[in-house]
Amino acid sequence: MNSQTNGQTLKKGVAFGLPGHGGKRFDYLTIDTADHYLFSAHLGAWQTYIIDLRTNKLVATIADTPGIEGIDYVPNEEVRAR
């Protein structure tokens, strides 16, 4: 790091509410950069949310994901090519 970037932090870009228990952790995040989706594992609610980053709207909830220990997205290139 050089002196220009040392000490810089992330900046809040947008905020929006998600269902579930307030004050609980969102432990794991990953982004589908091609389709602009954020996958967020909400450990306290045992749910995983899919958020459209173009609209900042919740588009799906995957229920019953207790104890999730990570999240990743692997695109289906065959579907994307259609």
Is 3 inside a domain boundary?
Answer: no
User: Does a structural domain hold residue 63?
Assistant: yes
**6 lies in a domain?**
no
Q: Residue 70 belongs to what domain range?
A: 26-80
CB atoms within 10 A of CB 45: 20
Confidence at residue 15, expressed as pLDDT on a 0 to 100 scale? 80
Q: Does the residue 20 lie in any domain? A: no
Sequence-distant (6+) residues with CB within 8 A of 29 are 38, 39, 40, 41, 71
Number of domains in the chain: 1
Contacts 24+ apart (CB under 8 A), 49-57: 49/18, 51/16, 51/18, 56/14, 56/16, 57/16
Give the per-residue pLDDT at 43. 74
Is residue 73 included in any domain, yes or no?
Answer: yes
Q: Residue 58 domain-assigned? A: yes
CA distance 60 to 47: 10
Give the pLDDT means over successive 10-residue stretches in the chain (82 positions): 63 78 72 91 82 93 83 72 50
- Give the pLDDT of residue 60: 94
